[in-house]
Amino acid sequence: MTAPTVEKPASAEELARRLHEAAASKLAVAPVGGGKARGMGGVIERCDVLLHTTRLDRMIEHSQADMVVSVEAGITLEALQAELAKTGQFLPLDPFHSPGHTIGGLLATGWTGPLRLRYGSPRDFLIGIRVALPDGTLASGGGRVVKNVSGYDMMKLHYAALGSLGVIVAASFKVFPKPLHDVTVSSHGGWTDIDRALGAPVAPAALELFSDGGVLARYSGSPDAVDRVVTELGWRRVGGEVWDEHARRGPERWARITVARAELPKVMEALPPGAQWWASPGAGIAHWANTNDAGSIRVVRSAVEARGGTLVMLAAPDEFMREVGAWGAPPSTLEIQRRLKNAFDPDHVLNPGRFVI
Amino acid sequence: MPLPQPVAEELRRIVGRESVIDAPNDLRIFERDGSIEGAVPDAVVLASSTEHVSAVIKVAAKHRIPVVPRGAGTGLSGGAVTIRGGIALQVTRMRKILAIDPVAQTALVEPGVVNQELSLVAAQHGLFYAPDPSSQKACTIGGNAAENSGGPHCLYYGVTTNHVLGMEVVLADGSVHWVSGDAPDRVGLDLCGVLVGSEGTLCAITKIKVRLLRIPPSIATMLAAFPSIETASQAVSAVIGHGIVPAALEMMDSVTVGAVEAHYHAGYPTDAGAVLLVEVDGIAESTRELMAAIGKILGENQGYAIREAQTPAERELLWAGRKGAIGALGRIKPNYYLHDGVVPRSRLPQVLSAVGEIGEHYQLPVANVFHAGDGNLHPNILFDLRDRQVLHQVEAAGEEMLRAVVELGGALSGEHGIGLEKSAFMPWIYNPDDLGAMHRVKDVFDADGILNPGKIFPDPSRKSVHLAGRTGLAVEAKWW
């Protein structure tokens, strides 16, 4: 296998052209953003062109009054946040394996972090998208308004599709004002403390549980309400920088577990003793680090899938990935999904073998 | 045109003799939804189960007959209108709340469940369903999911798509599928996300799993008057600019306020150029603090007669005025055409002044009542259908208003859908490549185009909207 050609187009139009050229020659294309999630998905079957979005790093427009931002896909999350911070706003996205994610990469992978509990995922605040398709067209969906039902929701089609239908070149988001007050507290009470926090009248903005029983909770909003709940919980106040530290987690081998949140405690019991993990119990998401035993992955995956959940490998050596499989059981709508793939990428030049379709 | 007799018989075998309506007089009440244009279906089929929906669609697919899923018919963009004839597939008999899980905070419902009924039942568990279209007393969850409906409280809580966890759907070949479910981040493409808001053009919806939220312990509602729409818009931006996103932030112009006050006596200040209705919720500490901050910001931005509802009854009354505003406008003219457009919030003053000018130009009264926090405007063109010439004026004025919305960077619809009403305008906001990508999706789900044909995409065979020919019946029956 020869080394893939590296393309770093400087504009969306150029990227669409390069993609079309490759597709016309039936060359396999792997879109690359910050390269932080390259381990996600099946081992890629062929790769002739690495199509980088990193030069598409412009902030297209930020309207402070409208709380809407449009960016090119190659901008890093940190660069975007720095720009938004100048006006007291932010994108409520704090993915693991930070820093260095590009916006396009985060949209393609669907990676999120602890703030998902309060703000949802980009699925909820992505309001516009522009995608280069293998036939060389650039297709947009949505717009720059916060509420929009004009035509099909093309954002949902491409979000977390791992670049299987096209390459995201630009996106617009609804952004949020930084909260008036933001307090982080920690405890060591495990699931008991999680239940306490989730049952309290003020919902945390983020709530993380660690395999050693540690708990981190973040409360934001009106100062009186935040102070009341923090006082009632009686947990130790810690500095907000713990969240940056937490977001840096990105082991060489790890898996993501998702399940209905009420099922999460049972699922986590299926993990082998001593397993290292952290979870957002309110969201039904957990990350399992240093997963090196294929047998226990299979056991946990079947426990999760029996409850309607998923276990997806986020990174592992190729051989291990082939052994356990990246995705687990295919969705029941696989046949329709394949037809969508064929409609957008008829020659299967985008990320062949990496996604489920 | 009636269905061929053998087809009608096939349908009767599926749902039962009495559940297929095809007598011309009986079909007329299915001619329209809440929008302005209508068309009589060839038959109405009243489905009671997923099996019915699936079998009916199979028959339609075999004979290439259009099928239009239909809920309560409250839609405002013609989504449920059988513009190409065929079968109106009525799902309002499927109205069971199948399960409420208070621990998981979810509900599983059939598509004909009425929006408000779900919240009323969920309230027994201290829960509610957040999307609250103004038609919530009548509209169905299935229709809400098909249209991706909004409502006043979507400013904070998000629209329907943010609350649908999964759906059981019937595709154009009659096959039944579950898309998504309780677990987040499922493997594969997000078909559920694509199908919500697809306006019946990609699937029929037969079950919906939705997220429920805990009823906040404290709710505070405030009313403030402003000298003008501009000053009120400025105040909206100021509130949000201070980092406060209220649960709802609604505006009414002076025309609306006059009509609402005459009807509801809710204490709306009738001398105002515009009125804002602001609501926050949470624990008492939070609502108290936020209301104090909001009241101060409104005051600093020329707000006056600022008043907070002191009792739940007062709050209800303030909301009754807002949610019943459209009906109250009947005091001014018997008919209205309610438009829906959305602009970046900061463009509200500009777009509303354009709307006012267009109304004046056509000599049509316009009342504005809308979701200011979202930039989602709803100009209501008021008219009297007995003046038959006026419809063309109403239509032309509405089109110009939408044009103004688009020219200010907005979108054709914030929550009503494209349907029949706005399909011709889609090329204003999407180029052929954009529309081509959407068409690929349509072709994958419904290659023969039997599901709700003639919607969303511009239809070259329809040169313009012909209102007069369709409305004769309605005028005679005094439905308007």
A55-82 pLDDT, tens digit per residue, is 999 999 999 989 999 999 999 999 999 9
pLDDT given for residue A1 in this prediction: 61
pLDDT given for residue B380 in this prediction: 95
Closest CA to A29 of A41, A44, A12, A43: A44
The pLDDT tens digits for B197-211 are 999 999 999 999 999
| Residue B252 in this model has a pLDDT that exceeds 50 | yes
Q: Which of B183, B196, B282 sits opposite A284 (nearest CB)?
A: B183
pLDDT given for residue B466 in this prediction: 38
Q: Give the C-alpha separation, B448 to B410, whole Å.
A: 32
CA geometry: angle A340, A30, A286, nearest 5 deg: 75
Interval A234-239 mean pLDDT = 97
**Residue % of chain A over a pLDDT of 90:** 95
Helix (H) / strand (E) element for B170: namely strand B164-170
Interval A267-292 mean pLDDT = 96
Q: Give the C-alpha separation, A208 to A112, whole Å.
A: 13
Q: Is B182 on the interface with A (CB under 8 A)?
A: yes
Interval A304-315 mean pLDDT = 97
Residues of A in contact with B237 (CB under 8 A): 65
Q: Which of A112, A153, A178 sits opposite B161 (nearest CB)?
A: A153
pLDDT given for residue B143 in this prediction: 98
**Residue % of chain B over a pLDDT of 90:** 88
CATH top class, domain B218-327: alpha beta
Residues of B in contact with A150 (CB under 8 A): 411-413, 418, 422, 426, 429-430
Residues of A in contact with B349 (CB under 8 A): none
To the question of domain B333-415 being in CATH 2.40.50.140, the answer is no
DSSP string covering B69-118: EESSS--SSSTT--TT-SEEEE-TT---EEEEETTTTEEEE-TT-BHHHH
Q: Which of A138, A150, A222 sits opposite B285 (nearest CB)?
A: A222
| Residue B423 in this model has a pLDDT that exceeds 50 | yes
Please give the sequence-ordered ranges of beta strands (E in DSSP) within B327-419, or none if there are none: 335-338, 341-342, 366-371, 376-377, 379-383
Q: Is A60 on the interface with B (CB under 8 A)?
A: no
Interval B455-471 mean pLDDT = 61
- Does residue B3 or residue B467 have the better pLDDT? B3
Contact flag A357-B177 (C-beta cutoff 8 Å): no
| Residue B46 in this model has a pLDDT that exceeds 50 | yes
pLDDT given for residue B323 in this prediction: 87
Confidence bin at B240 (pLDDT 50/70/90): confident
State how far residue A55 is from chain B, nearest Cα, in angstroms.
24
Domain ranges of chain B: 5-92+437-470, 97-214, 218-327, 333-415
pLDDT given for residue B478 in this prediction: 28
Interval B328-334 mean pLDDT = 92
Interface residue of B105, B185, B439 to substitute, partner A, most A CBs within 10 Å: B185
What is the CA B324 to chain-centroid distance, rounded? Answer: 15
Assigned fold of B97-214: 3.30.465
Interval B93-115 mean pLDDT = 97
Q: Give the C-alpha separation, A46 to A37, whole Å.
A: 18
Give me chain B's average pLDDT, please: 93
Q: Is A277 on the interface with B (CB under 8 A)?
A: no
Interval A314-343 mean pLDDT = 97
| Residue A334 in this model has a pLDDT that exceeds 80 | yes
- Does residue A210 or residue B464 have the better pLDDT? A210
Decide: B456 and B427 in contact? Cβ < 8 Å.
Answer: no
Same fold, B97-214 and B333-415: no
State ipTM. Answer: 0.97
Q: Give the C-alpha separation, B409 to B415, whole Å.
A: 17
- Does residue A13 or residue B387 have the better pLDDT? A13
How far separated are the first and last CA of chain A, in Å rounded? 24
Confidence bin at B477 (pLDDT 50/70/90): very low
Confidence bin at A113 (pLDDT 50/70/90): very high
Task: Give B 7-36 residues with CB within 8 A of chain A.
Answer: none
State how far residue A69 is from chain B, nearest Cα, in angstroms.
11
**CATH number of B5-92+437-470: 3.30.43.10, 3.40.350.10, 3.50.50.60, 3.60.21.10?**
3.30.43.10
Confidence bin at A302 (pLDDT 50/70/90): very high
CA geometry: angle A59, B435, A343, nearest 5 deg: 100
State how far residue A21 is from chain B, nearest Cα, in angstroms.
18
The pLDDT tens digits for B114-160 are 999 999 999 999 999 999 999 999 999 999 999 999 999 999 999 99
The pLDDT tens digits for A243-277 are 999 999 999 999 999 999 999 999 999 999 999 99
From residue A218, how far is each of A230, A312, B246 by CA, in Å? 9, 27, 20
Closest CA to A219 of A124, A287, A117, A122: A117
Residues of B in contact with A336 (CB under 8 A): 171, 177, 191, 444-445
pLDDT given for residue B468 in this prediction: 32
pLDDT given for residue A201 in this prediction: 87
pLDDT given for residue B385 in this prediction: 85
Helix (H) / strand (E) element for B224: namely strand B218-226
| Residue A313 in this model has a pLDDT that exceeds 90 | yes
Residue type at A151?
A: G
The total of other beta-carbon atoms located within 10 Å of residue B431's CB is 12
Interface residue of A152, A202, A224, A337 to substitute, partner B, most B CBs within 10 Å: A152
